[in-house]
């Protein structure tokens, strides 16, 4: 419900429907019938947050409980924040319109390092103290999950509880425990001491970090009975796991505004730069039958005219053919488009392309990631130039005329030859189009090259690698630009300073908490949005806090060094990562998990089971 104060400011802001709630399928409960209120906070705009599958899953999971009510909260855009502060309106949840300071659990999903300032800003806007130590009671428990919490240390001073890994089971366990402690009138300390016994719960206040003189970590000491190492949680069987039957259907257009069906978790590929490829292991597939039924239900209850399959690599799904057959049966009649993101070049089969022709023809996007074979081998992106060209040819014959190619600059071992290799590969794709006798008639070709900057991430074989400095990245960008000689190729790249900051926070430790706080106090927020990114304020903050960003971003770590996330266990064996790192430096590839198990150790999380090896 909207209160009068809010109604008054809505006409003054852009896209007021971001702040009204009341969308189809949103869940409204009676406050008196529930024991616990959960504010699910996404630290970015409504349009981005509403596209996030994890939030949809947990929203529906919590609201399936009779005793709890989960509501959605997004970061208000600058204009709305200004009005809210001016009119003294605290941050409220969309379903009830109640201030989230009244809630028991404030849960953030951490998808991106550059949204950290928004977490502080949202707490502040809610009139909730930003520091964990300043929140004493058994309500306003601030928790966080999502991929970024695999190294949550830069947020350690602000968050009470981190949930590592997949949230379906642990969220319910934590809610149960909090309800119990609320009924017993426990203290927050008593609750936290019990909570840390749940697998996957990491309470940063229960760990002391000791540093060496050079600033590296000497030791991390667990206290209050907290486990020495916290192990992430996974769902063993996706067919039985909770999946929403209803999505909240937004009125305004969001980034991904469609039915989404998750088909598997984990990835068999082991690309060495890719954090998702490691932290979501082991691979677990949903059966085609369940996926098809769930997707049909979602379309029926939402009225969406587009359904998308979601995973890290759609074409690696072993039942893709079966699933598409089942889906095309009903989607065709109901005028629903099926979209398949995350296709790989090497197993883009003729059969798949035939099916894709029945589906809507949008652009094709491939990610060779690096310009030369040597570098692709080093990062274990196991695709060859021939495969790239062959697939593009197939696509041209299938009527496509535009291809998007994704690359990264700043990968470990990269030379300027690798950089110009990106331009040559794109050029070969252009040439291939004109050589192809079966190309679409009367049309030119369009190759878009997107070059992002590589950021080394925890739990990858590159977690020890120095990140390229901003200057190195700028030099590579301009070298690439000069290497492109045709207008058929369009080049785009990312701002390097955001990549540098992302790199600092991705592998940072607790000393960054003060930098984060200082930068936020100076007015940093929405750092992921170029128009709001204030690098000068960040630089001032680093200086004031006597913290060197280079120490985190550009320093090479030795394998022996204790890393800030070493007391967190994501199931990946450190020796495996070391071996993979060494293989990268000798440009040796590792076969994917279905060809040969590489021994990453993650099947230990799943009772020794991994869907890649049966």
Q: Which residues bind another protein (CB under 8 A)?
A: 2, 4, 7-8, 10-11, 16-17, 20-24, 249, 251-253, 300-305, 334-335, 360
Q: Which residues pair with 529 in a beta bridge?
A: none
Token pair 């060494």 is found at 582
**CB closer to another protein, 4 vs 441:** 4
Minimum CB separation of residue 328 from another protein in Å reads: 16
CB burial string 505-532: b at 16+ within 10 A, e below: bbbbbbbbbbbbbbbbeeebbbbbeeee
**CB closer to another protein, 7 vs 239:** 7
Nearest-10 Cα torsion for 183, 133, 145, 468: 180
Minimum CB separation of residue 17 from another protein in Å reads: 5
**CB closer to another protein, 4 vs 223:** 4
Minimum CB separation of residue 24 from another protein in Å reads: 4
**CB closer to another protein, 7 vs 544:** 7
Minimum CB separation of residue 1 from another protein in Å reads: 8
Minimum CB separation of residue 256 from another protein in Å reads: 14
Q: Which helix (H) or strand (E) holds 108?
A: strand 105-109
DSSP 3-state of 162: strand
**CB closer to another protein, 247 vs 464:** 247
Q: How many CB atoms lie within 10 A of CB 535?
A: 16
Minimum CB separation of residue 20 from another protein in Å reads: 5
Token pair 């997004």 is found at 74
Q: Which helix (H) or strand (E) holds 183?
A: helix 167-183
Minimum CB separation of residue 218 from another protein in Å reads: 55
CA distance 156 to 207: 10
CA distance 309 to 323: 10
**CB closer to another protein, 20 vs 245:** 20
Q: Could you tell me what percentage of the chain is helix, strand and coil, using 3-state DSSP and rounding each to the nearest 5? A: 40, 15, 45
**CB closer to another protein, 132 vs 331:** 331
What DSSP designation does 165 have?
Answer: B
Minimum CB separation of residue 303 from another protein in Å reads: 3
Reply yes or no: is the peptide bond before residue 282 cis, omega within 30 of 0: yes
CA distance 94 to 18: 9
**CB closer to another protein, 225 vs 303:** 303
For residues 472 and 514, is the Cβ–Cβ distance under 8 A? no
**CB closer to another protein, 335 vs 546:** 335
DSSP 3-state of 449: strand
Minimum CB separation of residue 22 from another protein in Å reads: 4
For residues 317 and 291, is the Cβ–Cβ distance under 8 A? no
Minimum CB separation of residue 96 from another protein in Å reads: 13
Minimum CB separation of residue 34 from another protein in Å reads: 20
Q: Which residues pair with 92 in a beta bridge?
A: 99
Q: Which residues pair with 460 in a beta bridge?
A: none
Q: Which long-range contacts (CB under 8 A, 24 or more apart) does 606-614 make?
A: 606/234, 606/236, 606/282, 606/284, 607/236, 609/236, 609/282, 610/281, 610/282, 610/283, 611/264, 611/266, 611/282, 611/283, 611/284, 611/285, 612/266, 612/268, 612/282, 612/283
Structure tokens at 286: 């949903």
**CB closer to another protein, 127 vs 360:** 360
**CB closer to another protein, 334 vs 544:** 334
Minimum CB separation of residue 5 from another protein in Å reads: 10
Bridge pairing between strands 201-202 and 161-163: antiparallel
CA distance 607 to 614: 13
Minimum CB separation of residue 525 from another protein in Å reads: 24
Minimum CB separation of residue 248 from another protein in Å reads: 10
**CB closer to another protein, 133 vs 360:** 360
What DSSP designation does 493 have?
Answer: E
Minimum CB separation of residue 16 from another protein in Å reads: 4
- Least Cα distance to 356 among 304, 400, 405 occurs for 400
**CB closer to another protein, 190 vs 334:** 334
**CB closer to another protein, 356 vs 584:** 356
> Read out DSSP for 216-285?
SEEEEEE-TT--SSEEPB--S-TTTS---S---B-SS--SS-SEEEE-EES-S---TT-SHHHHTPSPEE
**CB closer to another protein, 11 vs 437:** 11
């Amino acid at each position: 419900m909207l209160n009068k104060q809010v109604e008054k400011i809505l006409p003054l802001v852009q896209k007021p429907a971001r702040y009204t709630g009341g969308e189809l399928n949103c869940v409204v409960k009676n406050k008196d019938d529930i024991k616990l209120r959960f504010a699910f906070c996404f630290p970015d705009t409504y349009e981005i947050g509403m596209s996030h599958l994890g939030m949809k899953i947990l929203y529906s999971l919590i609201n399936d409980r009779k005793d709890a009510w989960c509501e959605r909260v997004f970061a208000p855009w600058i204009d709305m924040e200004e009005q809210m502060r001016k009119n003294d309106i605290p941050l409220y949840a969309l379903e009830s319109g109640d201030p989230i300071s009244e809630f028991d659990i404030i849960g953030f999903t951490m998808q991106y390092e550059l949204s950290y300032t928004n977490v502080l800003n949202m707490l502040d806007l809610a009139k909730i103290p930003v520091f964990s130590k300043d929140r004493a009671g058994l309500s306003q428990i601030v928790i966080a999950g999502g991929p970024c919490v695999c190294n949550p240390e830069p947020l350690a001073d602000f968050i009470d509880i981190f949930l590592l890994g997949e949230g379906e089971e642990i969220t319910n366990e934590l809610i149960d425990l909090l309800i119990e402690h609320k009924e017993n009138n426990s203290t927050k300390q008593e609750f936290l001491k019990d909570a840390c016994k749940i697998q996957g719960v990491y309470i940063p206040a229960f760990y002391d970090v000791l540093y060496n003189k050079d600033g590296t970590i000497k030791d991390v000491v667990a206290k209050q009975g907290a486990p020495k190492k916290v192990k992430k949680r996974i769902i063993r069987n996706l067919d039985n796991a909770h999946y929403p039957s209803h999505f909240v259907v937004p009125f305004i257009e969001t980034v991904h505004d469609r039915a989404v069906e998750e088909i598997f978790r984990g990835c068999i590929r082991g690309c060495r730069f890719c954090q998702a490829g490691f932290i979501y292991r082991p691979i677990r597939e949903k059966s085609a039958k369940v996926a098809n039924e769930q997707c049909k239900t979602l379309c029926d209850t939402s009225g969406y005219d587009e359904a998308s399959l979601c995973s890290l690599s759609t074409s690696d799904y072993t039942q893709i053919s079966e699933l598409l057959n089942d889906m095309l049966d009903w989607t065709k009649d109901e005028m629903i488009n099926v979209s398949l993101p995350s296709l790989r070049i090497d197993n883009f089969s003729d059969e798949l392309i035939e099916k894709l022709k029945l589906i809507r023809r949008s652009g094709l996007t491939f990610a060779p990631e690096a310009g030369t074979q040597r570098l692709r081998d080093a990062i274990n992106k196991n695709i060859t130039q021939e495969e790239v060209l062959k697939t593009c040819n197939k696509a041209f014959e299938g009527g496509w005329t535009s291809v998007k190619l994704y690359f990264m600059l700043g990968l470990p071992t990269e030379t300027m030859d690798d950089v110009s290799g990106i331009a040559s590969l794109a050029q070969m794709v252009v040439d291939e189009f004109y050589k192809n006798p079966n190309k679409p008639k009367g049309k030119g070709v369009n190759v878009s090259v997107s070059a992002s900057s590589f950021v080394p991430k925890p739990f990858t074989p590159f977690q020890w690698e120095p990140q390229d400095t901003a200057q190195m990245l700028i030099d590579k960008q301009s070298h690439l630009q000069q290497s492109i000689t045709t207008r058929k190729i369009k080049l785009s790249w990312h701002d390097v300073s955001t990549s540098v900051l992302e790199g600092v926070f991705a592998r940072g430790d607790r000393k960054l908490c003060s930098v984060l706080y200082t930068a936020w106090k100076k007015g940093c927020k929405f750092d992921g949005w170029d128009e709001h990114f204030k690098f000068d304020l960040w630089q001032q903050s680093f200086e004031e806090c006597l913290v060197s960003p280079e120490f985190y971003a550009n320093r090479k770590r030795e394998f022996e060094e204790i890393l800030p996330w070493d007391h967190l266990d994501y199931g990946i064996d450190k020796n495996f990562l070391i071996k993979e790192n060494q293989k990268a430096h000798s440009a040796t590839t590792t076969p994917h998990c279905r060809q040969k198990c590489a021994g990453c150790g993650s099947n230990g999380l799943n009772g020794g089971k991994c869907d890649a090896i049966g």
